[in-house]
Amino acid sequence: MPSNCSKLAFTFPPAHGGVGAVLAALLTTATPLHAQKYPEKTIRLISPYPTGASQILALLISEKLGAALGQLVYADFRPGAGGNIGMELAAKAPADGYTILQTSASMAIGPSLYKKLSFNALRDFQPIAQTANVPNVIVIHPSVPAKTLKELVQVAKASPGKLSYGSGGVGSSNHLASEMLKAMAGINMIHVPYKGASIALTHILSGEIDVVTVTVPATIPFINGGKLRGLAVLATARVPTLPNVPSSKEAGFADLLCDSWYGVKVPTGVRADIVDRLNSELRKLMHAPDTVKQLTRVGIDVVTSSPAEFQAFVKADTERWAKVVREANIRLE
């Protein structure tokens, strides 16, 4: 029967010094054996999004992290409610290091968007590391008479409310990115929310909507194939996978920045040695040459961090999105 007491490995001091010295040495050199054995069983990687860059990263990380740790790590996709279903499941899991969460910008958006969440995005999760950034790009259907972002703004101003833009759902990062554009440019476009950005992408390809902001990897074949027109990558510089699409700064909207970041967290309370081990392994596997090559080819940028850096980043992003949500007057139950 398991005991509540940790098994201890002792290093015995020299015989001299008396019983008090021996006991003091035992107490200071005792090391929990279980701290040296993590992991001892299968690890679950919860990912709230089963498609696109999220899927690519979850499958890659689970495979490579499992190899590094010597235990099976499997991706458990739990979509729904803007990522909240997966995050809630992870928040309620035991803080033992055997449930880890692949999180994204939805963790920073949710606190401002939803009146009631069963978890606190900052308090209930312990950061491990950021893993990647995926730039977003504004694309239009070729039937829209615009070849630049400024021309799109002119079209929208000439016919207020005529253009429609799709998103992966109310409060998704691509919805809020489009709201940022509307506010900056002073234009009115009709929002058409879908149950996922991939569905929005399907509908713009068929011409049912005019504009969508979506991650670069999802658009590469359609922009290069002429089925969609890329107007601006919402980043400070162009991306290698879409060399002919200008950055938002080049397009005349330097502050229109929106990428989909990804990272790994665990429930608060996981032992520090496990956090350190996971951070170390994640940073090594993400910067491995084959990983960088594989992800760069599909438009995903590797970005890693310490736990403290990742927590500060999420906090700052939470504050940034709170301002966008407040100004756009978006609220969900």
Instruction: Read off the pLDDT of residues 231-290 as tens digits, 9 standing for 90 and up.
Output: 999 999 999 899 999 999 999 999 999 988 999 999 999 999 999 999 999 999 999 999
Please tell me the predicted confidence (pLDDT) of residue 25.
44
pTM, two decimals, is: 0.80
Predicted confidence pLDDT, tens digits, the chain (333 residues) = 444 433 333 333 444 445 444 444 444 444 444 455 899 999 999 999 888 889 999 999 999 999 999 999 999 999 888 788 999 999 999 999 999 999 998 899 988 888 888 899 889 999 999 999 998 999 999 999 999 999 999 999 999 999 999 998 888 888 999 999 999 999 999 999 998 888 999 999 999 999 999 999 889 999 999 999 999 999 999 998 999 999 999 999 999 999 889 999 999 999 999 999 999 999 999 999 999 999 998 889 999 999 999 999 999 999 988 988 888 888 775
Please tell me the predicted confidence (pLDDT) of residue 326.
87
Helix 106-113 crosses helix 307-328 at what angle (to 10 degrees)? 40
Report the amino acid identity of residue 22: V
b/e map 279-293, b = 16+ CB within 10 Å:
bebbbebbeeeebee
Determine the Cα–Cα distance for residues 229 and 222; give it in Å rounded to an integer.
8
Please tell me the predicted confidence (pLDDT) of residue 71.
97
Tokens 């996922």 map to which residue? 196
Dihedral sign for Cα 240, 233, 55, 126, please.
Answer: positive
Determine the Cα–Cα distance for residues 96 and 126; give it in Å rounded to an integer.
12
* Count of C-beta atoms within a 10 Å radius of residue 104: 24
Local structure of residue 114 (DSSP, 8 states): B
Please tell me the predicted confidence (pLDDT) of residue 282.
98
Please tell me the predicted confidence (pLDDT) of residue 206.
96
CA angle 207, 163, 322 (to 5 degrees): 110
CA angle 85, 177, 301 (to 5 degrees): 75
Burial class of residue 63, CB neighbours in 10 A (0-12, 13-18, 19+): middle
Domains in the chain and their CATH numbers? Answer: 43-134+260-328 (3.40.190.150), 135-233 (3.40.190.10)
* Count of C-beta atoms within a 10 Å radius of residue 88: 19
Show the DSSP H helices in 31-80 as ranges: 52-69
